[in-house]
Structure 1
Amino acid sequence: MFEYAEVRNMTELELKYGCNPNQKPARIFMESGELPIKVLNGKPGYINFLDALNSWQLVKELKAATGLPSAASFKHVSPAGAAVAKELTDVEKHIYFAQDMELTPLASAYVRARGADRLCSYGDWAALSDVCDAATARFLALEVSDGVIAPGYTDEALAILKTKRKGGYNVVEIDPNYVPKPIEHKDVFGITFEQGRNNFEINDALLNNIVTVNKDLPEAARRDMLLSLITLKYTQSNSVCYVKDGMTIGVGAGQQSRIHCTRLAGSKADIWWLRQHPKVLGLQFVDGIRRPDRDNAIDIYISDEHDDVLAEGVWQNTFKVKPEVLTEAEKKAWVAQLSGVTVGSDAFFPFGDNVERARKSGVQYIAQPGGSIRDDHVIATCDKYGIVMAFTGMRLFHH
């Protein structure tokens, strides 16, 4: 069996098992040629590689579409978050636990991708569009993460990552020039499926068919539309994605109903915004609390389960001072201030209820394929709120 610590070109790599421990044998391989990846550290598994290869495609396409360093945080073959590089505000550094850290453009992209949904990013697979630098590696080293894929690593970054998880952190390097075959296959129940790869290019020209009365689409919103659509291209369908300022703030993946996608992603966007509420920023945690414990406590504090956190015997283990309750009225008022949000959908909105839910989370821009028999109703609902909507004409299902 191939030893992971030994880095060399290969046509196949045997794995410990597949999706579950009983699924043996397991391997990844090329029918011809060499694998475009090298394992620099650790022992990535079957699901790790699914996350790695899907997330790499996302960040590579996002960098090509925006010209900005890009990052993604993947869990179970869907992104928990994705983002492009952007300087963080002091509040963002606070809620992403990046205070007093050096943040290069690539590091900022990953901090923001991870910060989109820190609860879901627990134990993530990270993807980086550019060579991993030391600043990005230092932040990764602080987080609970399974591994990372990038087109390369500086010597300092690799040395930092090799100290993570007692030396077992998974580090994968991919050839950025690798181009897969145009036809792809997979087996289901012993039957082979074949299709052409989804090579559809998502670019600015896709956003020109604005079907609403309001046609004012700023450059920042166009970038956010591209981010939402590229994210959806690698999210298990059905899926809806909320984006603001070059980062996803809510991804709803794998739901059978479109409105459930919109609600799920919208609730995540609301939580992202509520993390910036003054009462949340003012929480005083006990010294030495672990980052995941802090994430969990904030999530519960924001949620309807806050009474459990504030109950006697619970809050003392988390907070230095018993926090004041964040009331439903306060949460509603704070969420009402969220604005400038973009929503993308991997398939058409069948009803206007999706627009109604989206606008409650500050949505002002929507990108979706169009093609519903009720497009006129969906457009009319957007017009009622002055929302700008572009029809892309392209479905982005991913299974």
Structure 2
Amino acid sequence: MGVPVRYGMNPHQSASVEGGPAVIGGEPSLINYLDALNAFALVREADEASGLPAAASFKHVSPAGAALAGPIDEVAAETWRVHGVGTDSPISAYVRARDADPKSSFGDVVALSRPVDAETADFLRTVICDAVIAPGFEEGVVETLRAKKSGRFLIFEAGLDWHPPARERREVLGAVIEQDRDAADLAAALPEKSLDRAHRRDAQLGMATARYTQSNSVVLVRDGAAVGIGAGQQNRVDCVRLAGDKARVWWLRRHPFVRELPMVDGMRRQDRLNWQIRFAGAEMTRTQRTEFAGLFGDKASVRYGESAWREEWSERLDDVTLISDGFLPFRDNVDHAAEFGVGTIIEPGGSTRSDEVAAAAAEHGITLVTTGLRLFHH
């Protein structure tokens, strides 16, 4: 018999869990467990492949962002109010992961591949997140986190010696399904000398992210961070476009016009961030445009209606690596990818139109690497 949890997929469903990480704070639901388990598997694989701390921001059993430790740029530092953070620290990995798609990361499950230190715990107290999973916690950190959300913050501990079994089993509508766990060697799937060290690192991070993202999925990685993830679409080109749109908004948030939006007294950080995202991506409703003008003034309102600055800035986005969990069936995937600054594509290959895909990549000057490895996740 498993241990009862708060509820199953929905509050009207009872559920229980057997095994898995230790719960040392809060009362998780079934989805919390699913997010935590998948997220921790992702960051551990990314850490093992790179030798760097890794972090993921998970929502509804797919990552909103994933990243390796590294430099935090000025925009992320301003947004999340972190300065002087070490480039090899767990907090740098999580800030980079959360900054990719902060609209989706609101209320996420945080996964870290290294023990949570005091600096990271203090940061987690300042953002809207529901849970954290890590291989350990430095002294005093658990007490700090337990104070979050009036004691309802979820804390999972997955020890360094925790390894999922070689076989996995589930029951769906009375059918019992069992299969080997997907433990294929991602590094071995990348042909030798096909990529330099930096792009190989990005490829492996993207492949690990795709492995734990609901299929169909496409992941865009740049400088050790997934900046756009398209998940759970029924056709692949929509995955490319969704991931690309997210990456473009991430990039447009770096434009001076977005950074220069006036500060509004009393506005919360997340509310300001949401307005920046709407402004950058030109995604406001008529009602929001009226409210935006009232909050930020006529100058910002006029800039919202202009497209030239977005187009010019978007053309500067480059050196993006695209990872697809399944083969690219048509060249339109490549054509769209080129518009989002993709310079490298990693895909299984094997489509009946692989020649057309390869020709499209060559036309756009994109390096195409086929792995022969599909990474579907359901």
- TM-score normalized by the length of structure 2: 0.94
Amino acid at match of 1:207: L
Query: Residue 348 of structure 2: which of 369, 373, 377 is its match?
Result: 369
Give the paired residue count: 375
> Is 1:21 aligned to residue 25 of structure 2?
no
Query: Residue 246 of structure 1: which of 224, 229, 253 is its match?
Result: 224
Query: Residue 141 of structure 1: which of 121, 125, 128 is its match?
Result: 125
CA contact (8 A) 1:14 1:27 kept: yes
> Is 1:206 aligned to residue 184 of structure 2?
no
Partner of 1:344: 323
Three-state SS of the structure 2 residue aligned to 1:142 is coil
Amino acid at match of 2:16: R
Three-state SS of the structure 2 residue aligned to 1:252 is strand
How far is 1:131 from its partner? 0.2
Three-state SS of the structure 2 residue aligned to 1:186 is strand
Amino acid at match of 1:27: S
Partner of 2:159: 175
Residues in 1 aligned to 2:292 and 2:313: alpha-carbon distance in whole angstroms: 26
> Is 1:396 aligned to residue 375 of structure 2?
yes
How far is 1:100 from its partner? 3.7
CA contact (8 A) 2:59 2:105 kept: yes
Taking a change above 3 Å as real, the CA distance of residues 361 and 311 of structure 1, as seen in their structure-2 partners, is: closer
Taking a change above 3 Å as real, the CA distance of residues 187 and 278 of structure 1, as seen in their structure-2 partners, is: same
Taking a change above 3 Å as real, the CA distance of residues 198 and 108 of structure 1, as seen in their structure-2 partners, is: same
Percentage of pairs with the same residue: 43
Partner of 2:143: 159
> Is 1:267 aligned to residue 257 of structure 2?
no
Q: How does 1:57-76 map to 2 (within 5 A)?
A: 57-76=41-60
Query: Residue 31 of structure 2: which of 24, 34, 47 is its match?
Result: 47
Cα displacement string for residues 260-298 of structure 1 (whole angstroms, at most 9, x for unaligned residues): 000110100100000001101111221332222122111
Q: How does 1:1-12 map to 2 (within 5 A)?
A: 12=2
Q: How does 1:278-357 map to 2 (within 5 A)?
A: 278-306=256-284, 308=286, 311-316=289-294, 318-319=295-296, 323=300, 324-326=302-304, 327-357=306-336
**Range that drifts further, 170-179 or 100-109:** 100-109
Residues in 2 aligned to 1:157 and 1:116: alpha-carbon distance in whole angstroms: 26
Cα displacement string for residues 190-214 of structure 1 (whole angstroms, at most 9, x for unaligned residues): 11111111111211x322178xxxx
Three-state SS of the structure 2 residue aligned to 1:355 is helix
CA contact (8 A) 1:236 1:254 kept: yes
Amino acid at match of 2:4: E
Three-state SS of the structure 2 residue aligned to 1:208 is coil
Query: Residue 97 of structure 2: which of 82, 99, 113 is its match?
Result: 113
Amino acid at match of 1:158: V
How far is 1:314 from its partner? 4.7
